[in-house]
Amino acid sequence: MATLSSVSNKCKGKSGALIIILCLAVVSNVSAIAKIFEPMSANTIPLAKAQSTPNVFPIDSKPYGKPYGDWSIIWWQSILSIPIDKNPLKDNTGKDCSQGQSGPIWFLAGTGGGAVKRTCTIPAGKAVMFPVFNGECSYAEFPQYKSESDLRKCAKDQLDKVTNVDASVDGAKIPDLQKYRAQSPLFDVVLPSNNVFGAPPGPTKSVADGFWLILTPLSIGNHNIHFAGSAVDITSSGVTNFATDVSYDLTIK
């Protein structure tokens, strides 16, 4: 994925612009979306005290035997392998929420910028993982990068520009989201010919960074998960703003 400023430039007639929660479009009405964010305060409801709200796996834990950074790799490998016409990132309703799902954790997707409301049915017993705000950089997208350290800096720079993150489950805000940032090891990924980035297809290597949450399995019934984020990139050519807002109405059965 690109830095915010390069995304802005690529949006001017080129494909493959890339903060993945935000990655496919520059949000033109960011000021309106930004109103959704409220500062976290002492009144935020801890998950442990919110009735019917699941627990969040600690950032330093190993859910189902893997740390957050490794689960972020699996999330990316799944998302990036799905053609654009069926990719959950481009889904405005939730019809593609079952694409690429396997294993003990169900993956929810972000957006290409802006707000979206989706519905999804998840099998009982599945943990739920979603990116509050994330990004990645690969050699396929940026052939000018020649080393893992180049990719790692690229991904880190994207997330360093994040100004707001927000998440809630069944109306209960999740506190201390800043501590849920995780960067991945270098990983392999295979891009299909019609991938979401418009990058050259085939195998490549990438590094990802982001704010992630992995929830323990939700109880049977109806639930809502909401997550949002925004970022600002101030460059010599101006200011580029991005915002995303995602709401999932889930049925667990």
Give the start-to-end residue ranges of the domains of the chain.
4-252
pLDDT at residue 120, as a whole number = 98
> In a 3-state reduction of DSSP, which class is residue 197?
coil
pLDDT, residue 240, reads: 72
- DSSP string for the chain: ---HHHHHHHTTT-S----TTTTT---TTHHHHGGG-----TT---GGGSTTPPPBPPTTS-GGG--HHHHHHHHHHHHHHS-GGG-GGG-SSSTTTTTT--SSEEEP---SSEEEEEEEEE-TT-EEEEEEEEEEEETTT-TT--SHHHHHHHHHHHHHTEEEEEEEETTEEPP-GGGGEEEPPPEEEEE-TT-TT-PPPEEEEEEEEEEEEEEPPPPSEEEEEEEEEEEEEEETTEEEEEEEEEEEEEEE-
Per-residue model confidence (pLDDT) at position 238: 61
In three-state secondary structure terms, 158 is helix
The helix (run of H) or strand (run of E) holding residue 145 is none
In sequence order, what are the beta bridge partners of 226? Answer: 168, 247
Question: Can you name the residues that pair with 141 across neighbouring β-strands?
Answer: none
The per-residue pLDDT of the chain, averaged, comes to 83
Whole-angstrom Cα distance, residue 3 to residue 155?
8
Which pLDDT tens digits describe the chain residue by residue (253 residues)? 433 433 433 443 444 433 333 333 333 444 434 444 444 333 333 443 443 445 999 999 999 999 999 999 999 999 999 999 999 999 999 999 999 999 999 999 999 889 999 999 999 999 999 999 999 999 999 999 999 999 999 999 999 999 999 999 999 999 999 999 999 999 999 999 999 999 999 999 999 999 999 999 999 999 999 999 999 986 655 667 889 999 999 999 9
Question: In the prediction, which pLDDT does 179 show?
Answer: 96
Q: What is the pLDDT of residue 45?
A: 37
pLDDT value of position 233: 84
Say if residue 243 is exposed, middle or buried (CB neighbours under 10 Å; 0-12, 13-18, 19+): buried
Tokens of 179: 């501590």
* Total residues found in the chain within this entry: 253
Assign 91 to helix, strand or coil. coil
